[in-house]
């Protein structure tokens, strides 16, 4: 009896021993196949992290500060492009002429909101909204563009937000917002059309055919500003003894992209650059002196005549509701800076 049990037990034990030996052999033969890459699945995300974007903004601010401090507009090209470069270059040049940076737009370096895109292609545009500073600077919306993969992000444009504006909601910067093409069809008006229509609205005032799509002129501070300027100047120039003319024409800046980013409600924020030309003339012999310090600086050394042309580089940010919405296109902010002046 003892022998049989032992035999059986021994068999089991030998089995266990064999298993152990096998395990030991497997252990010693541990040179297995190397793993193959298993990347995370592709997912849409912001092109930059908030930290990276902060670095970009810091770098841009450094360039802005240095150019303003040195009164050297040439420094700007490393981090500015498009309308922002045009405006800033002019401002720094004017500051250099006037030897004062008073009229250079202050761009606060603290940000209330960051809007990052999800694009996998170029150009890419991100936005930043500055805080209200204690120096009563209005909030500003900045647009930053990376035009190609090897290019840095550059400040493309900025507008000052209209006072008390309610900004549309955007996706969280950790998720990223969709960038829209200029001809996007999902909006009440495509970005390209809405910019052209707004330019027309500024040029022709309430007679524009597109008035219906936009909020009333009285609510729009930029249109109100242009309207009042136009009325004042026209009254002055077309007076009985002056016999002059006044025209104010706004067109979308040629060869300049339109930046459009999706808002949370399916609409879009559209930012575009506009060229405004203010042409004034009076009877021969009259003298039209530049009225602003900027114009004076730009016309430094020239004798005023009876003709004067002021060029403005304007930027606007518009909220465009989604297609089918009964909301109106609304101005979010604008920038109206004289960048050129011409006698004659």
- The candidate with the shortest Cα–Cα distance to 141, out of 59, 312, 259, 52, is 259
Q: How far is the CB of 104 from another protein (least distance, A)?
A: 25
CA 12 – CA 24 distance, rounded (Å):
18
Please give the angle made by the CA atoms of 95, 99 and 103, to the nearest 5 degrees: 35
Query: Which one, 14 or 231, has the nearer CB to another protein?
Result: 14
Q: Least distance (Å) from another protein to the CB of residue 26?
A: 9
Is the Cβ of residue 34 or residue 301 nearer to another protein in the bound state?
A: 34
Least distance from C-beta 121 to another protein, angstroms? 8
Is the preceding peptide bond at 104 cis, omega within 30 degrees of 0? no
β-pairing, 330-343 vs 307-320, is: antiparallel
Q: How far is the CB of 128 from another protein (least distance, A)?
A: 14
Q: Cα–Cα distance between 71 and 95 in angstroms, integer?
A: 7
Secondary structure percentages of the chain, helix, strand, coil, to 5? 35, 25, 40
Which of 6/325 has CB closer to another protein?
6
Comparison of 2 and 99: residue with beta carbon closer to another protein: 2
Task: Report the residue number, 147 or 309, with the smaller CB distance to another protein.
Answer: 147
Query: Which residues bind to another protein, rule: CB under 8 A?
Result: 2, 6, 10, 13, 17, 20-21, 23-24, 27-28, 30-31, 34-40, 42-43, 45, 47-49, 52, 55-56, 59, 120-122, 146, 149-150, 152-153
Q: How far is the CB of 182 from another protein (least distance, A)?
A: 18
d(CA 103, CA 222): 19
Largest CA-CA distance found in the chain, in angstroms, rounded? 138
């Amino acid at each position: 009896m003892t022998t049989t049990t032992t035999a059986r037990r021994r068999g089991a034990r030998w089995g266990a021993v064999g298993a152990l030996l096998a395990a030991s052999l497997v252990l010693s033969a541990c040179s297995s196949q190397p793993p193959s890459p298993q990347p995370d699945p592709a997912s849409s995300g912001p092109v930059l992290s908030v930290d990276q974007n902060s670095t970009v903004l810091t770098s841009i601010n450094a360039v802005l500060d240095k150019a303003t401090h040195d009164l050297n507009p040439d420094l700007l090209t490393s981090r500015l492009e498009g309308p922002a470069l045009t405006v800033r270059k002019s401002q720094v040049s004017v500051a250099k002429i006037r030897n004062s940076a008073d009229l250079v737009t202050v761009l606060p370096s603290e940000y209330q909101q960051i809007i990052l895109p999800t694009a996998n292609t170029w150009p890419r545009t991100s936005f930043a909204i500055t805080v209200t500073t204690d120096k009563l600077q209005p909030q500003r919306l900045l647009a930053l563009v990376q035009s190609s993969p090897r290019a840095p992000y550059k400040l493309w444009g900025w507008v000052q937000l209209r006072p008390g504006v309610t900004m549309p909601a955007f996706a969280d910067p950790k998720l990223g917002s969709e960038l829209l093409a200029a001809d996007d069809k999902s909006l009440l008006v495509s970005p390209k059309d809405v910019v052209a229509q707004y330019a027309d609205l500024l040029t022709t005032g309430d007679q524009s055919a597109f008035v219906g799509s936009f909020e009333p002129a009285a609510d729009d501070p930029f249109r109100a500003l242009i309207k009042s300027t136009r009325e004042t100047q026209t009254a002055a120039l077309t007076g009985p003894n002056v016999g002059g003319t006044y025209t104010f024409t706004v067109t979308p800046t040629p060869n300049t992209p339109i930046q459009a980013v999706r808002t949370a409600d399916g609409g879009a924020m559209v930012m575009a650059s506009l060229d405004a030309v203010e042409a004034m003339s009076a009877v021969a012999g009259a003298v039209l002196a530049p009225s602003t310090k900027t114009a004076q600086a730009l016309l430094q050394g020239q004798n005023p005549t009876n003709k004067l042309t002021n060029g403005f580089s304007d930027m606007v940010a518009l909220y465009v509701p989604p297609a089918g919405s009964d909301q109106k296109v609304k101005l979010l902010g604008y920038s109206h800076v004289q960048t050129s002046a011409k006698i004659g």
